[in-house]
Structure 1
């Protein structure tokens, strides 16, 4: 197989497109975990965002509105999840797994009842392609990085903004304190539950957008049952593997996107590896991330611990 610049550019562009849903969800997970909330229900949040965007697209015909409605769906779902994990102080892992199973059933029902007669989607170009002037004409990287969905550019800018926020702002300091020592933060007069609730809702917004991207941009506006296929769990693993640092999350998500792209374009690059093995590779990385978490000292000290004033830790 003759590998040329066009082949490489197409491979890189495919990897970038595939990384966007997990990148958005992982950035949201970084914020909630930094605040001490282990959002295992990320898979369900993405599913609700995806089905909400499909309903929005069928109702409005606007792909931009569909993405916004997907974010709203993730936000509402996150509010429900936060009632149990943050306010009712339920076990975050058990609650999250149950929420994911609940999401699979509910979104499937919505598809059958609401979307069974949905009209075909119109033009989606407004959210699928934005060529940046001059940069898009660069060889190889132009097609790969600068001829992408505007959602990708948003995700990159968001990763930079979150890095700055967590590292240099008072809000970032408070969020990190909520995850490191919630009792001390409460003693200083700051609202631990409010910070954790806000972080969880923010995670819902980003997970909803990730699910909406998966449905509207990557799948042509068609919702399929359980279409996230484990991407929520993968996003959690990315956040852990990147040590809860937004810029590292960006790099790790893009690397895993390239691994996923090998499933579809590996043969054109002369890589003779069975597709099932390539499909399993990102999740092998996820397992490694769980192992790393078990041995890491970098994890927020109060991650996963419900906060109860006066209870101590």
Structure 2
């Protein structure tokens, strides 16, 4: 099978849709935080925390949906911690985000070993099954690609128009964008920037936790230490590529999901004789290239990374 046959296969596009989901949820998470003026470098730790919380809960209770709930809840807790540090205490967002991510990673590894012990074979659960939508899944080409997916996949893609509607069609969304552009002006208009940023980071944490849970509750059915594999950092780039717009960010996430699906199929088919490490690096290399090409056109929220002090208006 050559590269053209791989790219034109319906299974390739269906896999691209699935593989884009954790990137999509992580990108929506980061977009929500950055629209409020906070750069959330803790996203990798949030995703990993959600992954373990979801897997551990599902493994203990036998309920995948309880696992999803736990993942969102733990992600929100990490988001609240991030908010306390950078919004309330006004600590440096870059250093704090990295610190939160490292702390969460350490706690996850410790909790995993405490709960599951040392084992050469990672524990596994039965993940979500795909749910073909009646009638829609029977549509040629489009049906198998978009309408025979996991429930979490449908949820993730529905969140895209929902977030776009929230940002551009609701007073709360306007308040969020206003705080990200000029928190002093927003405060003068009666909006509380601290409250808005705090809630934005909690919501961002929940979305990041859900992104992490998707990987083991739907995609893999197991938990490993490298399950996130840097996807949180890719999400930071996808927000820039999507220019802080939910619809464009979804397109960017799908593009990189397709790159990930391509490298997996190239490895499996043997169509290109290269070391597997080069295939694994392909999505990250594509991220760097896209960032370079898009650098001059990316303009983020004006108040991004600027702490807000209520006493200095």
Task: Supply the distance in 2 between the matched residues of 1:157 and 1:299 (Cα, whole angstroms).
Answer: 24
Report the Cα distance in structure 2 between the residues aligned to 1:276 and 1:150, rounded to whole angstroms: 32
Equivalent-residue separation in structure 1 for 2:30 and 2:86 (angstroms): 14
Following superposition, the deviation at residue 244 of structure 1 comes to 0.6
Alignment of 1:30-69 (within 5 A): 30-69=31-70
Asked if the contact 1:7/1:269 (under 8 Å) is kept, the reply is: no
What is the CA distance between 1:285 and its match in structure 2? 3.7
Who is 1:165 aligned against? 166
Task: Classify the secondary structure of the residue corresponding to 2:9.
Answer: helix
Determine if contact 1:28/1:203 at 8 Å carries over to the other structure: yes
How far residue 4 of structure 1 moved from its aligned partner, in angstroms, is: 6.5
Match of 1:261 in 2: 261
| Unaligned residue ranges in structure 2 (runs of 5+) | none
Shift of 1:253: 0.6
How far off its partner does 1:77 sit?
Answer: 1.1
- What is the CA distance between 1:271 and its match in structure 2? 4.9
User: For structure 1, which segment, 223-232 or 6-15, has the greater mean C-alpha deviation from structure 2 after superposition?
Assistant: 6-15
Displacement of 1:24 after TM fit? 0.4
Q: Secondary structure at the match of 1:309?
A: coil
* CA deviation after TM superposition for structure 1 residue 159, in Å: 0.3
Q: How does 1:113-132 map to 2 (within 5 A)?
A: 113-116=114-117, 121=124, 123-124=126-127, 127-132=128-133
Asked whether the 8 Å contact 2:241–2:298 carries over to 1, the reply is no
> 1 CA distance for matches of 2:187 and 2:7?
56
Structure 1 range deviating more: 80-89 or 277-286: 277-286
What root-mean-square deviation, in Å, do the aligned CA atoms of Structure 1 and Structure 2 show?
Answer: 2.4
Q: How far apart are 1:267 and its partner, in Å?
A: 5.8
Question: In 1, are the aligned partners of 2:263 and 2:282 still within 8 Å (CA)?
Answer: no
Q: Which residue of 1 aligns with 2:250?
A: 250
In 2, distance between residues paired with 1:87 and 1:293?
33
Preserved CA contact (<8 Å) 1:6 1:140: no
TM-score of the aligned structures, taking structure 2 as reference length: 0.91
Could you list the runs of 5+ residues in structure 1 that have no partner in the other structure?
A: none
Q: CA offset at residue 147 of structure 1?
A: 0.8
| TM-score, normalised via structure 1 length | 0.91
- The aligned counterpart of 1:101 is 102
| Alignment CA distance shift 1:239-1:5 (3 Å) | closer
Does the Cα contact within 8 Å between 2:123 and 2:223 map onto a contact in 1?
Answer: no
Contact kept, 8 Å, 2:7 with 2:262, in 1: the verdict is no
Which stretch shows the higher mean deviation, 10-19 or 172-181?
A: 10-19
Shift of 1:57: 1.1
1:196 aligned partner: 197
Secondary structure (helix, strand or coil) at the match of 2:312 reads coil
The more displaced of 279-288 and 9-18 is 279-288
- Provide the residue aligned with 1:239 in structure 2: 239
